[in-house]
Amino acid sequence: MDRSTLLFALAALGTAGSALAPPSLRAQAASDLHARIDELATAVNDQVVAWRRDVHAHPELGFREFRTAALVAEHLRSLDIDVTTEVGRTGVVGVLRGSRPGPVVALRADMDGLPVTELADVPFASKATAEWLGREVGVMHACGHDNHVAILMGVASVLSEMRDELPGTVKFFFQPAEEGPGGAAPMIADGAMENPDVDAVFGLHVFPMAVGTIAYRPGGMLASSDGLRIVVRGVQTHGAMPWGGVDPIVTASQIIMGLQQIVSRQTDLSDSPAVVTIGQIEGGNRGNIIPDTVLMVGTVRTLNPETRTDVHERIRRIAENIAEANGAEAEVTIDLGYPVTVNDPDLTGRMESSLRRVAGEGLTIMPPALGAEDFSYFAREAPGLFIGLGISPPEDPSLWHPNHSPYFYADERALPIGVRALASLAVDYLSGPPISEDRDR
């Protein structure tokens, strides 16, 4: 049976029918779709590289991604994809409908840069500047979002060429302000996950791992990120007569030590890592005056929603009780940031074969990471899978730099791998049986 006849037969069966087709027929159809993805990804790669360099040279801060959003919208429209702009302020949503009814899958890329002056030695290095916190700063794609944008634009090109072969719908989310204050929640509030409702959502992030690596992790993939503020109130007195007041500095030091017990003695780290860090402490203005207040500022990171709640409760209890024991008061404020990025276990298990086809021996389980991502909001609305893409040249360790570094470097050999990975996840999800059928097997 030739390829066109095979695909026509499966199209006639529809998504549910294709799941009941003989295994050999399904395997051949999947093989043909995968070959088509690879062929189209290769064909569009030069354009993906050009987009990546263009976006890299023109970074924009969160909710200011006007040029990037316009570039994306123009490209999607050229592919006859329905486009909505200004979603969540500067976000773009594209909707690509396949040839027949089926599930709805969303693919997400974030667009914003960082207030970092670029020091990487590349010919398309950013020279952009912007105002940040009242001063002029350099702007750079120091976290690699330029790669994300270019990859998803490439995926849109690939899947638009395959629309006659696909059931269901693909939604493309180009999201603003991932670096803060967060663009996923505003996009959701503007209806990005609705009309049609999304059944599964996929995303990727580039990391300093060897090119060819795709990393994933069932369950908690990236941490929640919550701001911590503790104000200790005592009674000011002369430093020579501490008994005349209540010392908030000594109380604060005891609270800091007490907080360390949460992670080292009260959290099951074999189940889920956690971090409680105090990164700033301010109090007093003279060596011979015990002040009346001390301010502590920190961050709380957890990889499990239940651990997150438990750690917050312990922080409050420890700070307030230690303060009370010293005759002081502690005012604890925890500002909820991005939630834990959770990879749905069933979805992750089902899509592992898609990732393995693309990465081969490069597919790996990602160790727990305490960075945070607002892809987590999308993954709370529908089953989600977030993966890491290696972008560091294995032959040159000098070019391995962490995300947010002014020297951050991305090897463009990773771009077609990213295109193939996201396109394969979308196609395999749309063409496969519903997850509920997988669970019953």
- Catalytic positions are 338, 412
Nearest CA to 34 among 216, 147, 165, 211?
Answer: 165
Is the separation of the CB atoms in 105 and 201 below 8 Å?
yes
Please name the helix (run of DSSP H) or strand (run of DSSP E) that holds residue 269, with its range, or none.
none
Is the separation of the CB atoms in 104 and 197 below 8 Å?
yes
Please name the helix (run of DSSP H) or strand (run of DSSP E) that holds residue 51, with its range, or none.
helix 23-57
Is the separation of the CB atoms in 181 and 242 below 8 Å?
no
Q: DSSP state, 101? A: E
Q: Report the DSSP beta bridge partners of residue 330.
A: 232
Give dist(CA 143, CA 179) in Å, integer.
9
Three-state SS for 217?
coil
Specify the residue for token string 């961050």: 299
Is the separation of the CB atoms in 419 and 154 below 8 Å?
yes
Burial of 236 (0-12, 13-18, 19+ CB in 10 A): middle
Please name the helix (run of DSSP H) or strand (run of DSSP E) that holds residue 109, with its range, or none.
strand 100-110
Give dist(CA 402, CA 411) in Å, integer.
13
For 292-344, the three-class secondary structure string (H helix, E strand, C coil) is CEEEEEEEEEECCHHHHHHHHHHHHHHHHHHHHHCCCEEEEEEECCCCCEEEC
Q: Dihedrals φ, ψ of 405, to 5°?
A: -80, 145
Give dist(CA 125, CA 127) in Å, integer.
7
The number of beta carbons lying within 10 Å of the beta carbon of residue 262 is: 21
How is residue 165 written in tokens?
């072969």
Q: What is the DSSP string of 358-400?
A: HHGGGEEEPPPB----THHHHHHHS-EEEEEEEEE-TT-GGG-
